[in-house]
Structure 1
Amino acid sequence: MTDSWLLDYDRCAQLGQDIMEKITERNKHNRTSKPYTKLSAQVRSSMKQFSGDVEKLKNGLIRATSSYHITQREVDRRQGMMDKLITKEKHLETAFRNEGGESRAGLMAGGSDDPWGVREEPAEFHGIGNMGLRDHQQQIIREQDRGLDALSNVISRQKNMALDIGNEVGQQNEILDDIIDHTDRTGQRLIKETRHIRIVDRKSATCGFWVVIILLFVAIIVVAVVPGGKSL
């Protein structure tokens, strides 16, 4: 996957280099000459486009930072590139307004062999071209993707475990519901049987009373009859 920000940056840097070359070429001509006027118009138009491209790069870097599409390390590196690009934009404006060797010397000064000063990078990126930087960024993105995949797998396993636990809890709840139903039915049967026992107990007690009464009645009859037999 190609990083459009880096491609836009390369185009902007190349445009700035072209502007600097046109300014240098313009300053070789007389200020009242036709080539000077023509080159000045071209530089003025190119500088307007250059400023728009710089603003576009700044906005693109802000969006990439807010959406976490690049690492913080890459954000810092690109911010340094942007700072140097903005500084050289001011140098171009100064060079465009002034001509002469002194102005060009001031523009070229700064303790660096590169008049743009935008290609200075951390030591770890020295000797690496834009393709190498893109490959390095893609490697970082791949590592992040692998980390996200591993995290996704862990979350998926935890989700499956939670589902299994939920299913097991559901089964246990069903078993508990069945036990409660059986317990309720057993309790109701016990209540019914207890009532039956009480009824039978009351009936048994009544029968006993009747037996005693009958036996007493028979005894009275016997006692009453026996003495009368002896008198006869």
Structure 2
Amino acid sequence: MALVYIEDSDPWLMEYDACLKLFREIMEQLTARNRHPRKSQTYANLSVNIRIHLKQYKREVQELKNKVDDASKSKTITIEEAERRMRQIELLLSKEVQLQKLYDSQINELANSRANLLTSRGSAFADGGTTSWAGDDDDDDDKKPIDVQVSVENHVNRHNEILQEQDKGLEELCKVIARQKEIGVTINNEVGHQNEILDNLANHMDRTDNSLATKIRQVQNISIKECTCGYWVVIVFLFICIITVALV
């Protein structure tokens, strides 16, 4: 027997609502972070919180998916309910991709601004032999190219990490689209099957109507015959009565 929950007390639905709430919180944090300078402590704190909440969101979505798979295997929910919940999970996954893109886009903007800053600094120190103050800061000029090189390497590494994260997000999106396609094909097949059932039912109803009309005509004929027979009985009885009276 399938386990049935009241909609308001279904643990899975409560966890799904919690995921939606977490999504809204992350969106609010992203919006709040954009209102602060990128070099401020508040911006850094919000970035850390957003990264933690993104991991939490991804973990909770995966837990929801695992619970649907387990419930489907144990047949504690119907196939239609399992498909409906999978569509809800795919919606959560698409929201995850959206959040990750927003987070990565802001990181890319910050990385590009840093790269532009490093490029401008490199051009400023390129003509150290022609400026009047370059000769006084020879030691600093020897150290800054090394710092710039390290910063560029860090930027390249971070850029590669961001690209890898974006690739993972695209893979998840492809999986979501493939799953939606499978659901669409399943729904189309189910609709075709239901149409066949309706056609058979309509044909059966037509045959039933024809049979009922035939039976009604037969009943009417029998009723007419019964009425005629009664009339003949009365006529014969009256005729006998007339003959009896005449003989008397």
TM-score normalised according to structure 2 size? 0.44
Report which of the two has the higher share of helix. 2
Q: Which has the larger radius of gyration?
A: 1
